[in-house]
């Protein structure tokens, strides 16, 4: 296990590689995160991986209530000492990915998530949060710049991917701002970005098609990004000729690729294929 030691207020801490720890110690940036996240005294917030509590302190100060999930045994006493006596703060010593979020969120609405998360588990964290979209309304995450670009990309961008659709089927995604790697200790190898994911409150796409059906077609369509969508779908028994005709009907070329499609356009394609 690789560790990087650094000193903060005369305390020695070890950033643990196995937990993907890159601590954010920048007061101005923390203030900006609070501002763009719209955290107020009406907001109940979840933080994932509070680390040494740089952002945590500001979230406690600004929010109605903060619940933080921390997996690292060594950070629990640090956080308890730092925030003891704060009546609007709970620290849960658990791995967020295995925590029983259903029981915790039962009966809660409009929860916001604000976190600087371990980058190697970005997709599992987002997938878990989306699962509880009836309870969580907005998600604000510090992620790798490249991942934020993929999640928030628009139809026609080379960044469009399965991950893009896995988020945009349920929510609006917005790339808010870039954060240089030097803002973290230890510094990661790449720059980061702050990302906003706002859940749809009208289930606009789920009302049109089941998620199972949507993602079944999508995985096939993305099976080889270098091939056209007609080529990829031929493996499911759709002739290239028929798919090509449908693509032209939908205003695309016969050689269109999957990254050219928005969520709504892909739903329209599935409906035509099913006919």
Q: Rounded to a whole number, what is the distance in angstroms from the first to the last CA of the chain?
A: 55
pLDDT at 8 over 50: no
Q: State residue 18 phi and psi, 5-degree precision.
A: -65, -20
Longest dimension (CA), the chain: 70
Total residue length of the chain: 275
- Among 15-24, 168-177, 247-256, the range scoring the smallest mean pLDDT is 15-24
Instruction: State residue 244's pLDDT score.
Output: 96
Half-sphere exposure for 208 (CA within 13 Å, toward CB)? 15
The Cα 164–Cα 275 span in angstroms is 27
Confidence class for position 13, pLDDT limits 50, 70, 90: low
The Cα 228–Cα 132 span in angstroms is 34
Please state the pTM of the whole predicted model.
0.90
Mean pLDDT of 132-152: 97
Q: Which residues pair with 139 in a beta bridge?
A: 113, 197
């Amino acid at each position: 296990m690789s560790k990087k030691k650094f000193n903060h207020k005369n305390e020695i801490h070890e950033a643990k590689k196995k937990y993907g720890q890159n601590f954010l110690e920048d007061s101005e940036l923390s203030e900006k995160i609070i501002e763009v996240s719209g955290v107020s005294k009406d907001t109940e917030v979840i933080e994932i991986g509070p680390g040494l509590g740089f952002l945590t302190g500001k979230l406690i100060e600004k929010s109605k209530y903060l619940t933080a999930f921390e997996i690292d045994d060594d950070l629990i006493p640090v956080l308890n000492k730092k925030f003891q006596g704060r009546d609007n703060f709970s620290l849960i010593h658990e791995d967020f990915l295995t925590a029983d979020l259903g029981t915790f969120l039962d009966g809660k609405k409009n929860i916001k998530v604000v976190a600087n998360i371990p980058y190697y588990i970005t997709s599992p964290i987002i997938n878990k949060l989306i699962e509880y979209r009836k309870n969580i309304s907005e998600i604000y995450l510090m992620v790798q710049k490249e991942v934020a670009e993929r999640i928030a990309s628009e139809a026609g961008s080379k960044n469009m991917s399965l991950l893009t659709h896995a988020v945009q089927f349920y929510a609006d995604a917005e790339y808010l701002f870039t954060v240089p790697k030097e803002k973290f200790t230890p510094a990661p190898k790449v720059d980061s970005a702050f990302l906003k994911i706002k859940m749809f409150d009208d289930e606009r796409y789920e009302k049109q098609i089941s998620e199972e059906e949507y993602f079944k077609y999508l995985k096939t369509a993305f099976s080889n990004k270098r091939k056209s969508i007609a080529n990829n779908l031929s493996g499911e028994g759709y002739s290239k000729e028929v798919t090509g005709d449908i693509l032209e009907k939908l205003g695309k070329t016969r050689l269109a690729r999957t990254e050219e499609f928005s969520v709504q356009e892909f739903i329209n394609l599935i409906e035509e294929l099913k006919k």
